[in-house]
């Protein structure tokens, strides 16, 4: 929270041109305005409609049993369209969907750049592909932003959209994975969301740089030290999450029934000047997804591993889904 002492790293991607730097802060990293309640509502209602369409498009199994889908794939368009609808006001649906697909294309092209253990060379095939995808997206944004009354640069908006799409897709997939194989039909949607963000925060580590000598938890740090803050590890601290019927390593929405501990103390959305500006939208989408999941019986079609290439993603997040007996929604 102490922004002057802990600065945002100039570039988290090891190539200065990928961050939307506009010299608004000391290191020059842009400070994003938080999404507004109207934006959240636009995003949420778009997500509800698009998720419904996406789920209906999943072919039913030949034997009339559960349908199977890959959550990371099925969530892509509903989340992308929802975030675009939230951020880009008054766009006609065709243009919004085209921009959403372009953000997804940039995210896909960016993935190998971020995942690479050594930064790919500037003119490598990987970087050229990422560059082409980013230029195409920024060109589209340059065309539509004036009509949306947005004065931020295309590069700033592209960053906002990419951050607001990639992370919620992973968060949504984790939520569905955790809710699969549950034995209890009933759960509180908000509690399930917080519990999923506690156990598997998609951005499992964030970074800051010290601007001068400083002490953290009794440890003296010099200037220019990299400080890594891990929501994943903080979420397993006894002081920050309630005990429940299950221990802290297990998914247990019920632990939040106690209501005497603040959800989010383990920083799943970061903290300070660079905390997530889209957290209210992210929470709204996840809540809708949890409400959708409630009447559905889900099982994991194969065991899940953790892909650590861009934050943490469930891989595969392959789910077999049917309605609980007696459920009609």
CB of 231 to ligand HEM, least distance (A): 6
- 232 is a contact residue toward ligand HEM (CB under 6 A): no
Q: Compare residues 103 and 109 and give the one whose CB is closer to ligand HEM.
A: 103
44, 274, 296, 310: residue in contact with ligand HEM (rule CB under 6 A) = 274
Cα–Cα distance, 152 to 80 (Å, whole number):
19
**Residues in region 75-104 near ligand HEM by CB under 6 A:** 83, 86-87
**Kind of pairing between the strands at 318-323 and 296-300:** antiparallel
Ramachandran sector of residue 21 (left: φ over 0; alpha: ψ -120 to 50; beta: rest): beta
- 314 is a contact residue toward ligand HEM (CB under 6 A): no
> Cα-Cα-Cα-Cα dihedral of 190, 193, 195, 198, to 10°?
-130
78, 91, 140, 168: residue in contact with ligand HEM (rule CB under 6 A) = 168
> Cα-Cα-Cα-Cα dihedral of 49, 52, 57, 58, to 10°?
150
- 289 is a contact residue toward ligand HEM (CB under 6 A): no
Distance from CA of residue 78 to its chain's centroid? 13
CB of 12 to ligand HEM, least distance (A): 8
Q: Compare residues 155 and 203 and give the one whose CB is closer to ligand HEM.
A: 203
- Helical spans, DSSP H, in the chain: 37-56, 71-74, 76-87, 93-115, 125-144, 154-179, 189-199, 231-234, 279-293
Size of interface with ligand HEM, in residues (CB under 6 A): 30
Burial bucket for residue 33 (CB in 10 Å: 0-12, 13-18, 19+) = exposed
- 35 is a contact residue toward ligand HEM (CB under 6 A): yes
- 150 is a contact residue toward ligand HEM (CB under 6 A): no
- 286 is a contact residue toward ligand HEM (CB under 6 A): yes
- 278 is a contact residue toward ligand HEM (CB under 6 A): yes
Q: Compare residues 133 and 286 and give the one whose CB is closer to ligand HEM.
A: 286
| Backbone angles phi and psi of 54, in degrees to 5 | -65, -45
- 156 is a contact residue toward ligand HEM (CB under 6 A): no
CA distances from 161 to 22, 102, 168, 277 (A): 17, 10, 11, 11
- 282 is a contact residue toward ligand HEM (CB under 6 A): yes
CB of 32 to ligand HEM, least distance (A): 4
91, 103, 163, 192: residue in contact with ligand HEM (rule CB under 6 A) = 163
Cα–Cα distance, 201 to 195 (Å, whole number):
9
- 154 is a contact residue toward ligand HEM (CB under 6 A): no
Structure tokens at 220: 């003296």
Residue 131, helix vs strand vs coil: helix
CB of 290 to ligand HEM, least distance (A): 12
- 206 is a contact residue toward ligand HEM (CB under 6 A): yes
Cα–Cα distance, 164 to 30 (Å, whole number):
15
- 281 is a contact residue toward ligand HEM (CB under 6 A): yes
Cα dihedral across residues 316, 79, 206, 190: positive or negative: negative
CB of 6 to ligand HEM, least distance (A): 10
- 196 is a contact residue toward ligand HEM (CB under 6 A): no
Structure tokens at 180: 């699969």
Print the binding letters for residues 169-188 with ligand HEM: x by CB under 6 A, - otherwise.
Answer: --x-----------------
- 203 is a contact residue toward ligand HEM (CB under 6 A): yes
Binding residues vs ligand HEM (CB under 6 A)? 31-32, 35, 83, 86-87, 159-160, 163-164, 167-168, 171, 197, 201-203, 206, 268-271, 274-278, 281-282, 286
């Amino acid at each position: 929270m102490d922004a002057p002492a802990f600065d945002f790293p100039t570039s988290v991607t090891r190539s200065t041109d990928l961050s939307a730097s506009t010299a608004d802060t000391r290191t020059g990293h842009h400070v994003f305005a938080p999404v507004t309640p109207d934006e959240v509502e636009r995003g949420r209602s778009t997500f509800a409609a698009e998720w419904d369409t996406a789920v209906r498009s999943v072919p039913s199994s030949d034997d009339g049993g559960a349908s199977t889908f890959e959550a990371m794939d099925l969530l892509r368009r509903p989340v992308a369209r929802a975030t675009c609808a939230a951020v880009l006001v008054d766009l006609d649906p065709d243009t919004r969907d085209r921009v959403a697909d372009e953000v997804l294309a940039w995210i896909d092209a960016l993935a190998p750049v971020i995942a690479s253990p050594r930064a790919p060379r500037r003119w490598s095939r990987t970087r050229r592909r990422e560059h082409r995808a980013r230029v195409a997206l920024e060109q589209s944004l340059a065309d539509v932003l004036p009509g949306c009354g947005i004065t931020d640069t295309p590069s700033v908006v592209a960053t906002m959209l990419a951050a607001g799409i990639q992370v919620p897709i992973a968060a949504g997939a984790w939520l569905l994975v955790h809710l699969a194989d549950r034995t209890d039909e009933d759960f509180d949607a908000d509690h399930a969301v917080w519990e999923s963000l506690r156990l598997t925060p998609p951005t499992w580590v964030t970074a800051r740089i010290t601007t001068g000598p400083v002490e953290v938890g009794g440890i003296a740090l010099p200037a220019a030290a990299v400080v890594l803050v891990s929501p994943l590890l903080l979420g397993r601290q006894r002081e920050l999450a309630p005990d429940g019927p299950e221990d802290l390593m297990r998914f247990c929405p019920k632990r939040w029934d106690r209501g005497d501990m603040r959800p989010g103390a383990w920083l799943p959305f970061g903290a300070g000047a660079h905390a997530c500006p889209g957290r209210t939208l992210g929470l709204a989408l996840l809540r809708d997804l949890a409400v959708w999941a409630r009447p559905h019986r889900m099982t994991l079609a194969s065991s899940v591993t953790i892909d650590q290439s861009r934050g943490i993603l469930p891989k595969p997040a392959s789910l077999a889904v049917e309605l609980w007996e007696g459920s009609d929604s």
